[in-house]
């Protein structure tokens, strides 16, 4: 689960970033559960995967804002 969530998030961002850069505009929307922030009993792997998605998206957003 961890690899699928994180790899897909990264691969999609890499696929669209060239067009976003050329247009100097774009959005990447990653949807993750609240369990990425709070966790839930018995779902450690799920919460870790969603937290990883949040950990990928936030620095990526900050980097693009700085470049705009």
Task: Write the Ramachandran bin of 26: left for phi over 0, alpha for psi from -120 to 50, otherwise beta.
Answer: left
Q: How far apart are CA 16 and CA 14, in angstroms?
A: 6
Q: Which tokens hold the place of 19? A: 């067009």
Read off the pLDDT of residues 15-50 as tens digits, 9 standing for 90 and up. Answer: 988 888 889 888 888 887 777 677 778 888 888 888
What ranges do the domains of the chain cover? 2-25+37-67
- Residue in 10, 46, 60, 64 annotated catalytic: 46
Q: What is the pLDDT of residue 61?
A: 74
The pTM for the full model equals 0.69
Q: How far apart are CA 18 and CA 35, in angstroms?
A: 31
Annotated active-site residue 46? The verdict is yes
């Amino acid at each position: 689960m961890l690899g699928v969530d994180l790899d897909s998030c990264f691969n999609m961002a890499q696929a669209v970033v060239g067009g976003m850069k050329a247009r100097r505009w774009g959005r990447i929307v990653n949807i993750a559960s609240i369990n990425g922030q709070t966790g839930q009993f018995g779902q450690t792997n799920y919460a870790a995967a969603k937290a990883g998605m949040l950990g990928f998206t936030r620095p990526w957003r900050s980097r693009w804002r700085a470049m705009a």
